[in-house]
Amino acid sequence: MKEKAEYLREKLNRGELVVGGHAFFTDPAVTSLLGYHGFETVWIDAEHCAFTLPVILQHIMAASDAGTASLVRIAWNDQVIAKPVLEMGPDGIIFPYVRTAQEARDAVACCTYPPKGIRGFGPRRAQKYGAFSVDEYLEQADRSILKILQIEHCDAIDQLDEIAEVEGIDLLVVGPNDLSASYGLLGKTRDPRMMEVYDHVAEVCKAHKMPFGVSLGAGDLESAREWLDRGIAFLSCGDDISYMDMGCRMTFDFVDKYKQEKGG
């Protein structure tokens, strides 16, 4: 019933690269576009952007239509926030700003039914609106969604060994902006001190056989190369805003160059 999550989990565990993009605008056509252009995942950003629950559902459905996996980043590591999103049947849920092993366990518990977790029962789209029986749904519910945690704070770096040992995590994703901010280096994501932190993340995740990745902007290709060299299995690179920004800049750079060539 949820083939995408299982396929991606197996791919991540083999260390094969999964490439995704981000959707920041509320129009679900953005998610369709990213999916049709070949991104394996679309990061639906309900943490920083103006996504209501109905809009999130529309993006999840658009992702399914385009053949890409929907990953919803919720606003906080909170059971109440996670619950209605889980019932929409996304292929993955992203918990931001996880700082401790206990917070990591809490995130996994949000996604897992008792007795292993605390997820309340009330699937809607996740159960295909009743097209599958409860038994059929429960048989695959736990493996049908990727549980993704973001490493965005120095506290998480201090507990990274413990976090990586938490059962049920499918992927750890570094958020360079908030992570650098926690070290007093906001906006300096490529500072040498941060490079040491990133290298440490790679070492710890490899030691625990934990798939890891990074979230980057569209133009940050130098950082993307460095992360690929570190052995990431997940690269979420670029979003609707940054791709449009790049296209606008390319147009006006061309116009300015043309004017200079013509002496005008």
DSSP 19-70: EEEEE-SS-THHHHHHHHTT-SEEEEETTTS---HHHHHHHHHHHHHHT-EE
Tell me: pLDDT of 146 over 60. yes
Q: What is the mean pLDDT of the segment spanning 17-33?
A: 98
Bridge partners for 42 per DSSP: 21, 70
CATH number, domain containing residue 146: 3.20.20.60
pLDDT given for residue 263 in this prediction: 85
**Is pLDDT of 2 > 90?**
no
What was the pLDDT predicted at 1?
Answer: 44
Given the residues 22, 37, 48, 200, the one annotated as active site: 48
Global confidence as pTM: 0.96
Range of the domain at 88: 3-261
153 is catalytic: no
> What is the tally of structural domains in the chain?
1
Q: What is the pLDDT of residues 34-51, one digit of tens each?
A: 999 999 999 999 999 999
Give the pLDDT confidence score for residue 264 in this predicted structure.
Answer: 65
| Across 138-148, average pLDDT | 96
Q: How far apart are CA 215 and CA 48, in angstroms?
A: 14
